[in-house]
Chains A and B, each alone.
Chain A
Amino acid sequence: MRGFLTAISFILLWQAVILVTHVPPYIFPPPLAVARAMLSNAGMLFDNALVTSGEVLIGLLIGTILGVGLAVAMALSARLRLALRPALVISQAVPVFALAPVLTLWLGYGLTSKIAMTVLIVFFPLASVFLDGLLATPAGSLDLGQLAAASRWRVLWWLRLPHALPSLASGLAIAAIYAPIGAVIGEWVGASKGLGFVMLMANARSKTDLMFAALLIVVALTVMLHFFASVVARRMAG
């Protein structure tokens, strides 16, 4: 309900800006024009949204598996941690967007380069946040592991992991927001399908209303994904 009210206020504000500033529709189309573009291109937009959603979901899944795997491996092995932690920190500073052309060059114009882009954008923050969580187990809890002479794996499973679930959850919530960005940027650099591709094409043909329609769908996808991730996150952290 609150989301609905926010959406209504957003559309009203949008319309108000256009009424006040008299921006020409090819710069900033009114909501009604965008809605019309969305309806008249519904089939095409739906097909492309499916493509982008597929890239996002597959990328999110692979990125999560890799991120969780790396965090677990680094939590288990001090040597690996020593070797990879600086890389993990530096990787946060790399503008992953800058890699998009390289990925397209290496992996082609198909799905693979977009999925790779999504994986990259999801992987590092998730691994980093989850690793921090796995290493933040209270010393007193680790004492229990020491008293039982527990193996590293058992300490991980029974002590570190339960304490790190909130970190994993917030990592997933962040990942859900980043993932569509990765896919869309991948599509911008070179694609023949997907919402990012539609936006570029519409822009080139001055179909600003269609571009905004595609943009709104990307936003809706992201919001939906974030919503699901938050539900999962709440259950995990509970």
Chain B
Amino acid sequence: MAQTTASAATIEGAAWHGDTLLFSGLSLALPIGWTCLIGPSGAGKSTVLRLLAGLSTATRFEGTISSPSRIGYMAQEDLLQPRLSVLSNVLIGQHLRGGPVDTDLAMALLEAVGLTGFERRRPKALSSGQRQRVALARALMEDAPLALLDESFSALDAANRIKMQDLARDRLAGRAVLLVTHDPFEALRLGDRIFMLANGRLEQVDALPATPPHSPQTEGFGAHYDRILLQLLAAT
């Protein structure tokens, strides 16, 4: 891919699940903007993301990975710690690293995700949409050049999903984002670039030309969606 800007992260190589090849010849660079990774379940989408994050996987990987030391991370679960306040949850990265804690920034980020006044509450007092917004604030707290989103919006209801997607696009502007999703609609709506991982191979598919987020009203949305869906159907 001819990208003039430097990539925030790259991964090249192959991975095995036991003796079974998961993918090979994979080469993915993440420049600024949203890269969406779609594909059938079990194709290794989350493995790619976890490898980039430096997290443990059930696979053996051979190749090279370069990613920044700081990464904003959002999973499908909000991963909020049940007995810590919302504020402590936003600060958990700093707590876990030790050293100074920037409460002012955490409060500002809570404001940015629309949760002013929630800082002393426990996560269980929040709705699932609010909890995922705390998770976004926690990811933003890292102030990292790279954000890795693993099905981060998949557990939300339709209205909250749209809201969270737009909020995340807004707040993560200017950074490299990898969104792993099983949903071609979401990929098309949010992706500056879209890749499909299926049958052990990574392939780029067409994203819509203008700047996301798109809506189904955007010209070409339907045609793009049908094409991606056909490719997915062919892959499974």
User: Which residues on A are within 8 Å of B, measured CB to CB?
Assistant: 138, 140-141, 143-151, 154-155, 158-159, 162-163, 165, 238
Given A144-B92, A150-B96, A162 and B79 contact (CB-CB distance below 8 Å): no
State whether A162 touches B82 (Cβ < 8 A): yes
User: Which partner residue on chain B sits nearest A146 by CB separation?
Assistant: B55
Q: Which residue of A lies closest to B76 (CB)?
A: A140
> Interface on chain A toward B: helix, strand, loop, or mixed SS?
helix
In the complex, A159 Cα to B84 Cα: how many Å? 10
| B12 proximal to A (CB < 8 A) | no
Q: CB distance A145 to B81 under 8 Å?
A: no
Interface residues of B in 156-171 (CB under 8 A from A): none
Look across to chain A and name the residue whose beta carbon is closest to the beta carbon of B124.
A238
Contact between A158 and B81, CB atoms less than 8 A apart: yes
- The answer to whether B79 and A154 have CB atoms under 8 Å apart is no
Beyond A154-B95, A154-B98, A158-B95, whether A147 also contacts B73 by CB under 8 A is: yes
The answer to whether A144 touches B71, judged by C-beta atoms less than 8 angstroms apart, is no
Whether B81 pairs with A140 at a CB distance below 8 angstroms is no
Residues of B within 8 A of A (CB): 53-56, 71, 73, 75, 77, 79, 81-84, 92-93, 95-98
Q: Interface centre among A138, A140, A147, A150, by most B CB within 10 Å? A: A147
Contact B77 A144 (CB under 8 A): no
Q: Which residue of chain A has the shortest Cβ distance to B79 in the bound complex?
A: A140
Apart from A147-B54, A147-B73, list 12 A-B contacts with CB within 8 A.
A140-B75, A143-B53, A146-B56, A147-B71, A148-B93, A148-B97, A151-B98, A154-B98, A158-B84, A158-B96, A163-B83, A238-B83
Can you offer 10 A-B residue contacts whose CB atoms are under 8 A?
A143-B53, A143-B73, A147-B93, A149-B97, A154-B95, A158-B81, A162-B81, A162-B83, A163-B83, A165-B83
- Closest A-B pairs by Cβ, 4 of them: A150-B96, A148-B96, A162-B83, A140-B79
Are the CB atoms of A155 and B79 closer together than 8 Å?
no
Bound Cα distance from A162 to B97, whole angstroms = 17
A140 and B93 within 8 A (CB): no
- Cβ contact within 8 Å between B96 and A154: yes
Nearest-Cβ distance from residue B88 to partner chain A, whole angstroms:
8
| Given the contacts A143-B55, A144-B96, A147-B93, A163 and B81 also touching, CB distance less than 8 Å | yes
Q: A148 vs B92: C-alpha distance in the bound complex, in angstroms?
A: 9
Cβ of B56 to closest chain A Cβ, rounded Å: 7
Decide if B83 touches A140 in the complex (CB within 8 Å): no
Contact of B79 among A144, A151, A158, A165 (CB under 8 A): A144
Complex Cα distance A121/B55, Å? 41
Shortest beta-carbon distance, A193 to chain B, in Å?
A: 42
Q: Which residues of A contact B81 (CB under 8 A)?
A: 141, 158-159, 162-163
Contact A150 B75 (CB under 8 A): no
CB distance from B197 to the nearest CB of A (A): 21
